[in-house]
Chains A and B, each alone.
Chain A
Amino acid sequence: MSDQTYLSLENLSLAYGKTTAVKDLNLTIRKGELLALLGPSGCGKTTTMRAIAGLMNPVGGKIVLDGRDITHVPANKREIGLVFQSYALFPHLTVFENVAFGLRMKGVQGNELRQKVEAGLKSVGLLSFAERKATDLSGGQQQRVSLARSMVVQPKLLMLDEPLSNLDARLRLDMRSELQRLQKETGMTMIFVTHDQVEALALADKIVVMRNGAIEQIGTPEDIYNRPATDFVADFVGFENIFKLRDGKLIADGKEFALGAECPNAPGLAWRPGMVTLGEGPFSGTVLGVSFAGNIRGYVLDTPLGPIRAEVDAARPAYTLGEQVAFDLPVASAAPLHRVG
């Protein structure tokens, strides 16, 4: 494992003045991996990224990139690329000059410069825009310029801050596949920061879920989606029915409820709405809300366990508001949580 490690953060601690933002963070990334830092705003993901880039000095811990301790290396010597959420293009320069900036800093000139910039612009499909003012382009185009600007210098690590959040829905899909393509083509190690679990699941090889300046769970998209380690992660990836477990019984509203089958030895269990069985089972509840969403129908039930959210095939006959419905929380499909609260 360790000889494969490309970037490692060891006990990294970050603070703004006296406010701690990240505490004792440990994380390793392998070469060529596409890692997502996922979490709600204020969880420390962007701060972590800024520290890796060298825009902020850690109060403790170590950052090692490609075998070299870069903790105290200034940002301009780290060879790390960063695509800012705002793109941060230089307003006074053309698209060409924006992309050429980093190369010029490395002393690349003349034909070599032109070739490299044009290759970079070509890879993001903006070659014909080379002489435009960078800030005259649309948001999506600006992002591609920013991406090309960061990639032409062939950084050891490319980081992207919320790369899709400023784009509209269609552009978002395009950009997603473009990022994947570029990563596969170049084999570049990438980290991107996002608050959107859908993005993280779709793009990343590995996801780090953060909360309050600490790591909540690290895993593959499948791990995170199917086997959330904590109630926080479960909630974040769409498990809407989450319960504590004590002595094999569900705890809700201070009362214990026995489930139909034997429970695993875990502090909690979680079900997605689609995992709840409606129409049969040991529990029952009153329909509080119904919402139709194409192929499925969603329900909110008022039950002794508290509100339960369920989704069933929309082809089945609908329950009406106020109707009593039997339901089950099948233990077999539930995700066992390792930590609750």
Chain B
Amino acid sequence: MFQNRAEGLALALPAALFAALVFLVPVVLLLSEGFRNADQWTLSAYVDFFSQPLNRTVFLRTLKLSALVTLVAAVIGYAAAYAIVSLPPGAKGRMVGLVVLPLMISPVARTYAWIVILGRTGIINQALQAIGLTDEPIRILFSETAIFIGLLQLFLPLMIISLISALENLPRDVVPAARVLGAGWLSVFWKIILPLTKEGLVIGGTLVFTGSMTAYITPAILGGSKVLMLETLLYQQVTVSNNFVAASVIAFILIVMSFAANILLKRIASARRSGK
């Protein structure tokens, strides 16, 4: 009954054509702009882009912040995931629900909260002044620190969830077994937990890293117009400088990162399906 392949193709065609036409074609055209200069294929746009100090700074800042967020998310993620996994089943379910909950809330709302906390009259500054550590409000908002905090809060749940499922698949009793054999907590982590949860870490890490790389809202709200990341730079290039070529270059960088991450995730998934 399902042998008619033409029939199957006809059912899939509208979605495929739609995606190709409104998605693939314009995106490819946009990307091609960065490689063309008056009917010639060239890399000059990329040379130009990276020759400007501001662009280099933004590029490196995006990489640096994404890496940092990923690293810190991994450290916190392990502690949190380990704590959650060790809870009794009912409490564990509720806790997982609470970790997932923020993902359902608009990132605008989640990021906006940090203005209240990190602003000049925010909680942090009030506290610092109250205990006399500083007389003047210190500037936290519109800095790399603020972006870092915002991104970490935005993407930490993804890391925690990935690590929870990795930790749950840990063979039973390996940790007590290692403890009985005399391993300290640190060596249990390095020698047992880390190698056995490597996949979860890579999955969570990839999600956090690409999420941070391609974040717009957080740097837009918490970085302001001075501390840019790649997506906010792209937005400025288009709206302020009307420079579509630079936008195309940034778009290409972002897409390459995204695809690389996706291929990595697919590899892991298929390696897992085929039984490692």
| Interface set of A (CB-CB < 8 Å, partner B) | 16, 55-57, 75
Contacts and interface: CB of A to CB of B under 8 A. Distances in A.
Contacts of A57: 3
B3 A75 contact: no
Contacts of A75: 1
6 contacts: A16-B3, A55-B1, A56-B1, A56-B3, A57-B3, A75-B1
A161 B243 CA distance: 67
Nearest to A54: B1
A72 to B, nearest CB: 14
A163 B1 CA distance: 21
Interface of B: 1, 3
Contacts of B1: 55-56, 75
Nearest to A75: B1
A56 B1 CA distance: 6
Contacts of B3: 16, 56-57
Q: Which 4 A-B pairs have the closest CB atoms?
A: A55-B1, A56-B3, A75-B1, A56-B1
Nearest to B5: A17
Contacts of A55: 1
A325 B1 CA distance: 58
B9 to A, nearest CB: 15
A284 B3 CA distance: 57
Contacts of A16: 3
A22 to B, nearest CB: 14
Contacts of A56: 1, 3
Nearest to B3: A56
A60 to B, nearest CB: 15
B1 to A, nearest CB: 5
A54 to B, nearest CB: 8
A78 to B, nearest CB: 13
A75 B3 CA distance: 14
A139 B1 CA distance: 26
B222 to A, nearest CB: 49
A57 B1 CA distance: 8
A57 B3 CA distance: 9
A6 to B, nearest CB: 25
B232 to A, nearest CB: 49
A16 B3 CA distance: 8
A12 to B, nearest CB: 16
A169 B1 CA distance: 33
Nearest to A74: B1
A282 B27 CA distance: 87
A295 B1 CA distance: 50
A56 B3 CA distance: 8
Nearest to A56: B3
A244 to B, nearest CB: 41
A287 B3 CA distance: 54
Nearest to B1: A55
A33 to B, nearest CB: 27
B55 to A, nearest CB: 54
A194 B3 CA distance: 24
Nearest to A50: B1
A55 B1 CA distance: 5
B203 to A, nearest CB: 33
A55 B3 CA distance: 9
B148 to A, nearest CB: 50
A250 B262 CA distance: 67
Nearest to A16: B3
A16 B2 CA distance: 11
A44 to B, nearest CB: 16
A215 B3 CA distance: 25
A191 B3 CA distance: 24
Nearest to A55: B1
